[in-house]
Each structure stands twice: as structure tokens, then as C-alpha cells.
Structure 1
Amino acid sequence: MALQLVHVNIKARNDSALGRFWADVLGWGMSSEGPGVTNLEPKGFVWPDPAAFYIDFVTVPDPETVKYRARLDLATTSEAHHAELVARLKELGATPADVGQGDVAWTALTDPEGNLFGVLEPQEIYKDTGQIARVAVACSDPRAMARFWDEAIDWTLHEVTDERAVFRSPLGVGPYLEFVRTPDAQIVWNRVHLDVLPHTGGDQAAEVARLEGLGARFADVGQGDVSWKVMADPEGNEFCVLGRG
């Protein structure tokens, strides 16, 4: 049984401060399941409603500053909206970024802790996603990522080419998940990663074994004794398999 993609997990120096920035950006609700963890959810939804997408911020001792492979990209509906959103984000504490992106259809910014994210120019594909247009993950081989993730999660594969693989919730709502070919994609400890959850009645151990059969491996990021299993896909992108309990 394929897993449900439930949220993006972002490591932080200060989970509540970074969570507040993103709550203000998105207009989402903000809560905490415990010390060092801030949870963001779109208003009107309760985790893990499959019709919604969520973000968790977790404080860690030393969230490294590296070139991250995953980022959030925000949607805009017009050129005026794009300009207004970029200006508002700067007022909230975002900073323009130059990551060698060249001439692209998005504006690169970093949040107050240095996490890269983008503000996309208006595109038809993202007109109904809500504030978050996509989670973009750099990779070397989108076709290989498509093969793995198409089996790993229950999201629908909409497109696969040599340049990108595009997934979306089977309900046709929320952001897209895109694996984008990036020649210099490096395998580093990811500050931003995906969290997946077995469906009701599913078994974490069985899902972990299934993922191993698909080419995933266990990963040690210093997590210690925790209830979730940290794994990495065939290109080294860490993700967590949560348990229902």
C-alpha cells in the first residue's frame, strides 16, 4: 500500500520564530505538538487530512548552512501579485538570494534562517494550488525519481521527462511535488525533507521493508531513539516514515 505524503519537515534554530514567519506568509494556523516543534496547517483542516498539506518546524542543535536540495515555491496569479508578494515577503524578513539560478521564472528568496524558497511567476499549472505551488527537489535523474516515488507514495505522477518528474495528490488539490534535474545536485544532509505516513490500517515496519525493496536505505542524521524511521531515496534525499500511534 503506497504511503500518504503528509508534510514537509524543516529543521530550525528556533522553530517558533521560523514557524511564525511562515504562518504570516501563508496565513496558516500555528500550533505545537511539544517542545521544539511548531506545526503549521491550513485553516479548516486537521492533520493528517489527505486534502491538505502541512509544514513542521523542528529545532535542532546545529541546522547546517548548505546548498539544500529541496525548497518551497509560492504561487502567484498575476505580475502585480508577484511584485506585491515579493515586497510583502521582504517586509516580513525574507532576503533576496543569488544561488546561480540565472534567468528563471521565479524570484529566489531566503527566509530568516537562510532557507531558500521561490516566488513563481504566474503559471497556469499552479492556478489552483493555494499559496504553495510546489515542493521542488533537485535531482540528477528525474526518471529514476519518478520510478521510486511513484511506488513509494499514493500521489499521481502527472509528467516525467529528462528534466523533471511531477506529482500531485490523488485528490487533485494542494501543491505539486517536482523532482527537477539539477546537474550539480549534491548529496548533503537535507534541512528540508518529506514526511510520509501509512494509511489507516497500514503498518510502519511493512512499509519500511517495502521501501527498502524499492531502493531506499536507512539514514542516520543523529535522530537517536525516535518513533519514525529516517530513510533516503536512491539519490540520497532523506525522508521520514511516520508511525500511527
Structure 2
Amino acid sequence: MSTRLACVAFDADRPRSVADFWAELLGWTVTIDRRDAVDVAAPDPDGLDLALTFRPATRAKGSKNRIHLDLASRSLEHQRVQVDRALALGARHIDIGQGTVPWVVLADPEGNEFCVLEPREEYVDTGAVAAIVVDTNDPARLAEFWSTASGWPVAHGGAQVAGLRSATGLGCWLEFIRTPDIERGRNRVHLDLAFFPADDPAAELARLRAAGATEVGPDVIGSAPGLALADPETNEFRLLRLAHDHSAV
């Protein structure tokens, strides 16, 4: 038994509006549309693309997110098309100190940062989302924790970058990038974990605690269902029961 990655969750001032942006940009579809959550998922049921969930925000965005998405491209022309499409849908160029780089840094209509990458061999089979990227002081340590939490093996590790991917080789990467100056405080983007109804929630919680997770109050991450936790670098996440309604633990 183990927990698994369920979704990337965004706090949103207008959940349906920003969900529509991401659905159009990625070629995905809105699969759940409720007042408390709007979900966007890839149309391929055999893939391992994680859903994106948009929930009502309780606080304004005040700093750069510690988690962002990198989008894949098949060629330089496809990268340009992706950037133009994002801008037409409401994205904008932003400067986060990236300098001259081959990828393009943008923000969605609510200011969530993301990158449209130049073509890279390691992302040729990921689908629209190449990677979920996490800023960290210690990539190897945080990758170890999230490998335990997600069940994804560490595919590569190092002092600057570490990456996880599903053992099936399908779907996006989960990558950890060393970032010396990390903004603290509540994240507008976080990961959610889930377990199946047959699993023992107490055992899963104990396993996550042993790996370095701590419990946090609902004021830290909002009032959505699930148990509020934080990883060893205080990145918030939720532990959900994997069910159609994502019922709380």
C-alpha cells in the first residue's frame, strides 16, 4: 500500500476561468465543475498525466510560486506556437531573473508562473506537461521524500537537479531544482496525494511522517477536503482518499 500523486492544486480567484485557460492551452478537458473545485485532465485515459485542480483562493498571490509547470514542445516552431497560443488565451511574459534562456517564462491569467520549454529529448514522450517543478534548497533530500510519498523512483539526482518519474515511463516528470532564495509563506500551487479506500489511512500517514512530513492547520492550506500536511521544506500538500468525490481522510 502507498500514497500516490493525485493532482496539482491551484488556489484561484476565479477557478473556472483559470481552469478554462489551462484546458485550452494543454488540449485537456474540464472533468469536474463544482463551486469548490474545477478539475482539468488529459483526454487519454491510459496516460499518467496528473489532473489540475482549481479551488477558491482565500489569500492573494504575494510572491513567486515554489511549484510551477514546464510545458513540452516538439520543435522550435511548436514552442513559438505554444507561446503565441498562451498569450492569446490571456498569459503574459514575465521576468523572474531568468536572463537569456532557450525557454519562455510566462504567467497565466492569475499570475501563476510556467515555462514553455524548447524541445528536449527527455520530454519527447511526456505529453503536454513536461514536468512539475519544485524549488528547493536540497533537491536530493526533497526528491527522496516525494519518491516515498508518490511511489515514483528517483530517475536522476544531484546537488542542483533531481527528478522522479513513474516506473511505467509514462506522463510528466516531477523535478526538484536547487533555488537558493525561496519565498516562504503559503503556496498558491501545491501537490495532492491520495490513497485507495482499501488502504489504511493511519498507516499511510505514519509512513509519510516517518519520511519527514508534518501536519499543518487548515489555515495554512485552506479548507479543501483532506488532511493538510507539509513536506520537509514546508511545501503544503493534502492527503486525500482516492474516490470520485475526493472525500476527506
TM-score, scaled to structure 1: 0.92
Cα distance in 1 for partners of 2:222, 2:138 equals 31
Query: Percent sequence identity over matched residues?
Result: 38
- Give the match's secondary structure for 2:54: strand
Show CA shifts across 1:13-47 (max 9, x none): 010000011111011110335313111111143xx
Secondary structure of 1:231's aligned partner: strand
Q: Helix, strand or coil for the counterpart of 2:241? A: coil
Q: Following the alignment from structure 2 to structure 1, what is the Cα–Cα distance between the partners of residues 11 and 128? A: 21
For this pair of structures, how many residues does the alignment match? 242
Whether 1:146 aligns to 2:155 is no
Matched, 1:105 2:102: yes
Distance 2:201 2:33 in 1: 21
Question: 8 Å contact 1:11–1:63 — kept in the other structure?
Answer: no
Q: Could you tell me which runs of 5 or more consecutive residues in structure 2 were left unpaired when the two chains were aligned.
A: none
TM value normalised by structure 2: 0.91
What residue in structure 2 maps to residue 215 of structure 1?
212
Output the amino acid matched with 2:148. E
Deviation track 1:210-244 (CA, whole Å, cap 9, x = no partner) reads: 11111111122425766411111111111111024
2:249 is the counterpart of 1:237: no
- Residue 6 of structure 1 aligns to which amino acid in structure 2? A
Contact 1:69 1:190 in 2 (8 A): yes
For residue 117 of structure 1, give the secondary structure of its aligned residue in structure 2.
strand
SS of 1:76 mapped into structure 2: coil
Deviation digits for residues 125-161 of structure 1 (CA, Å, limit 9, x no counterpart) = 0000011000000000011112212222211210000
Paired amino acid for 2:140: R
Give 2:2's aligned residue: 2
Contact (CA 8 Å) 1:204, 1:241: kept in 2 or not?
no
- Secondary structure (helix, strand or coil) at the match of 1:108 reads strand
Mark the CA change 1:25 to 1:136 in structure 2 (over 3 Å): closer, same or farther: same
Matches of 2:77 and 2:193, distance apart in 1: 36
With over 3 angstroms needed to count, the CA separation of the structure-2 counterparts of 1:156 and 1:234, relative to structure 1, is: same
Aligned 8 A contact 1:165 1:180 in 2: yes
Cα distance in 1 between the residues matched to 2:187 and 2:62: 10
Select 1:188's aligned residue among 148, 165, 185: 185
C-alpha separation in 2, matches of 1:24 and 1:149: 29
Contact 2:197 2:241 in 1 (8 A): no
For 2:156 and 2:240, the matched residues in 1 are separated by: 27
Question: Secondary structure at the residue paired with 1:242?
Answer: strand
Q: Structure 2: how far apart are the matches of 1:124 and 1:169?
A: 17
Stretches of structure 1 lacking an aligned partner (at least 5 in a row): none
Q: Is the 8 A contact 2:144 2:154 kept in 1?
A: no
Give 1:1-245 correspondences, 5 Å limit: 1-32=1-32, 34-45=34-45, 51-199=48-196, 201-222=198-219, 227-244=225-242
Distance in 2, matches of 1:182 and 1:5, equals 23
Tell me, in whole angstroms, the C-alpha distance in 1 between the residues paired with 2:111 and 2:223: 28
RMSD (CA atoms): 1.8
DSSP 3-state at the match of 1:105: coil
